[in-house]
Amino acid sequence: MYDHESTFPRQPPPSPPCSCTRGSVLLKDLLPKEQREAIMQRRAKEFQQHKARTSSVLSKLLYALPNSPLQYPIQGYTVRPLTPTLIPVLGLHAGERDSYKVFLNVSKGILTTATADTQVTVKGAGTRELSIESSSLVFLNELLAKVSYTSSIYHINTGDLAFFRFENHEVVFPIAIKQPQVPVLYDMGTDIQSQVTILTKTFLRYPQLKVLLASIQQFYPNITVIIADDSLEPERISGKNIQQYIMPPAQGWFAGRNLAVSQVITKYFLWVDDDFIFTQNTKIEEFLKVMEAVPELDVVGGSLEGNTGNRFCFSLLYEEGDDVEGGCLIRKYGETFHPLPDFPKCSFTHGVVNFFLARTDAVRRVGFDPQLQRVGHSEFFMDGLGLMMVATCKDVEVGHQRKTKENNNPRYQEFRKPKNIGGFKSQLHYFKNHLKCVRYSFKASE
């Protein structure tokens, strides 16, 4: 029935390889030689499965040909899986003819319309290919207005392309197939403790932790503090509104973060390191103002008092590259984008310091990779690139405790700086993030 050759382009050519800039680390070269081939094969398989889960026919480039007499939806037509849904605004606007005939064609569903008038001929109703023909343009448009699409597959988030043709005119429009989501809302309440939970992770640094908790008690006595503790010999920490979760020894930095985040019941949480200290400039309320005013934001970071380059933030320049070699990533310290509307002291960026307010549900969606046990920070923002909106603000600060003989634990340093951590992280980025190379730039202008 539908043998017309499409005037639309085929699938665009594959992405070309990305270019590794000077100073980049070529990750493949850091793989163990005896395992390299096997790792590359496993990575290729995993990447193809990732593409199958995340790619969509709706990402295909579509364009409108000039002077088309066809009317159709170009955006926003969304259907529930397996549910008949009228296609809005379908119509034909053509000059006088003896007969009018249009074709509709889809691939992941079926097309139906109302019972045809005697002056209209309908073929293919209930199939993927539908044709409607009539000597009356009015009657034809009446039936086009009653055409429904029903997906024939169950999928929570996919799409289809509908081809609509009249004579030599053809258009393509997208059909989004989505399962509606049930909203998950947080009751903000009226006070700071019903809005924010403070989280920290500790390991062999109880002197610093106690200083931090005392400073929180001074400025926010009623706020809940969650502590994830994987110390070798745990010390019980008691106090008002303190929840301490004892982990198996030395489970690691990101595993502790996951545990702490899993226990939050407030809309937001504030992350702090266990050697920070609250001051009069640690205004959680200022973070809240920003987050509530800009609901698209997921994370907003602040500054560390008394540190050189205290507003640690960075951008991530990522090129996807090809399917074989993978992408190229550059991390640029200190780079921000434009200021937030109505908040000139805050700017968009990709990653921030370990002092930030975050939306609980947004961070849970990204998560912290527990493979990063000792050294890790920007890896969370790499995993969240494209999933989280991040900003940094100059006017909210937290103190950083000085290192002294009393709070310096030699055993902590042994765990904090393990051998070959760089090689491990490089191999992780190669496989998990499908990266060809990574470059760490310490100046935004580099």
Q: What is the pLDDT of residue 376?
A: 79
Cα radius of gyration rounded to whole Å, the chain: 28
pLDDT above 70: percentage of residues in the chain: 91
Of 178, 201, 216, the domain-final residue:
178
Q: Which residue has the higher pLDDT, 43 or 15?
A: 43
Task: Give the pLDDT band (50/70/90) at residue 71.
Answer: very high
Where are the extended beta strands (E) located within 142-297? 148-151, 157-166, 169-178, 196-202, 225-229, 242-246, 268-271, 276-277
| pLDDT tens-digit map of 205-258 | 999 999 999 999 999 999 999 999 999 999 999 888 999 999 999 998 899 999
Whether residue 210 is found in the same domain as residue 92: no
Whether residue 324 is found in the same domain as residue 431: yes
Whether residue 198 is found in the same domain as residue 227: yes
Report d(CA 382, CA 387) in Å as an integer.
Answer: 10
Q: Which residue has the higher pLDDT, 116 or 305?
A: 305
Whether residue 360 is found in the same domain as residue 416: yes
Task: Give the pLDDT band (50/70/90) at residue 2.
Answer: very low
Report d(CA 56, CA 178) in Å as an integer.
Answer: 12
What are the φ and ψ backbone dihedral angles of 377, each rounded to 5 degrees? Answer: -155, -65
Q: What is the pLDDT of residue 445?
A: 46
Q: What is the pLDDT of residue 55?
A: 79
Quick one: tokens of 116? Answer: 């045809």
Measure CA of the first residue to CA of the last residue in the chain; give whole Å.
59
What integer is the mean pLDDT of 167-171? 94
For the cut 90, the answer to whether the pLDDT of residue 13 exceeds it is: no
Flag whether 185 is in a domain: no
Whether residue 251 is found in the same domain as residue 173: no
Whether residue 170 is found in the same domain as residue 210: no
Task: Give the pLDDT band (50/70/90) at residue 151.
Answer: very high
3-state secondary structure of 285: helix
For the cut 90, the answer to whether the pLDDT of residue 162 exceeds it is: yes
Of 111, 143, 178, the domain-final residue:
178
Quick one: tokens of 210? Answer: 């106690």
Flag whether 5 is in a domain: no
Alpha helices in 378-437 (DSSP H): 378-383, 410-416, 421-432
Whether residue 229 is found in the same domain as residue 347: yes
Exposed / middle / buried, residue 177 (Cβ in 10 Å: 0-12, 13-18, 19+):
buried
Whether residue 423 is found in the same domain as residue 327: yes
For the cut 80, the answer to whether the pLDDT of residue 347 exceeds it is: yes
What are the CA-CA distances from residue 380 to residues 26, 371, 375 (Å)?
21, 12, 11
Whether residue 72 is found in the same domain as residue 163: yes
Quick one: tokens of 436? Answer: 């060809």
Q: What is the pLDDT of residue 160?
A: 96
Flag whether 82 is in a domain: yes
**Structure letter (DSSP) for residue 31:** S
Answer whether 426's CB lies under 8 Å from 316's CB: no
pLDDT above 90: percentage of residues in the chain: 74
For the cut 90, the answer to whether the pLDDT of residue 418 exceeds it is: no
Whether residue 320 is found in the same domain as residue 266: yes
Task: Give the pLDDT band (50/70/90) at residue 309.
Answer: very low
What are the CA-CA distances from residue 148 to residues 86, 109, 114 (Å)?
4, 10, 9
Quick one: tokens of 221? Answer: 């006595």
What integer is the mean pLDDT of 377-381? 91
% helix / strand / coil in the chain, to the nearest 5?
Answer: 25, 30, 45
Q: Which residue has the higher pLDDT, 412 or 402?
A: 402
Flag whether 375 is in a domain: yes
Report d(CA 272, CA 147) in Å as an integer.
Answer: 56
Q: What is the pLDDT of residue 446?
A: 47
Report d(CA 433, CA 441) in Å as an integer.
Answer: 19
State pTM to two decimals. 0.86
Flag whether 269 is in a domain: yes
Print the domain residue range for 336: 192-441
Flag whether 21 is in a domain: no
Number of domains in the chain: 2
Mean pLDDT, all residues of the chain: 90
Q: HSE, CB side, 13 Å, CA atoms: give it for residue 44.
A: 10
Q: What is the CATH number of the domain that holds 135?
A: 2.60.40
CB count within 10 Å of CB 59 equals 10
Of 178, 212, 245, the domain-final residue:
178
Report d(CA 286, CA 304) in Å as an integer.
Answer: 15
Where are the extended beta strands (E) located within 285-413? 299-304, 313-322, 326-333, 339-340, 343-349, 351-352, 356-359, 390-400
Task: Give the pLDDT band (50/70/90) at residue 308.
Answer: very low
Flag whether 154 is in a domain: yes
Flag whether 28 is in a domain: no
Report d(CA 85, CA 87) in Å as an integer.
Answer: 6
CB count within 10 Å of CB 423 equals 13
Cα–Cα nearest to 425, from 31, 40, 20: 31
Q: What is the pLDDT of residue 5?
A: 52
Whether residue 137 is found in the same domain as residue 222: no
Q: What is the CATH number of the domain that holds 332?
A: 3.90.550.10
Whether residue 208 is found in the same domain as residue 306: yes
| pLDDT tens-digit map of 181-205 | 998 888 888 899 999 999 999 998 9
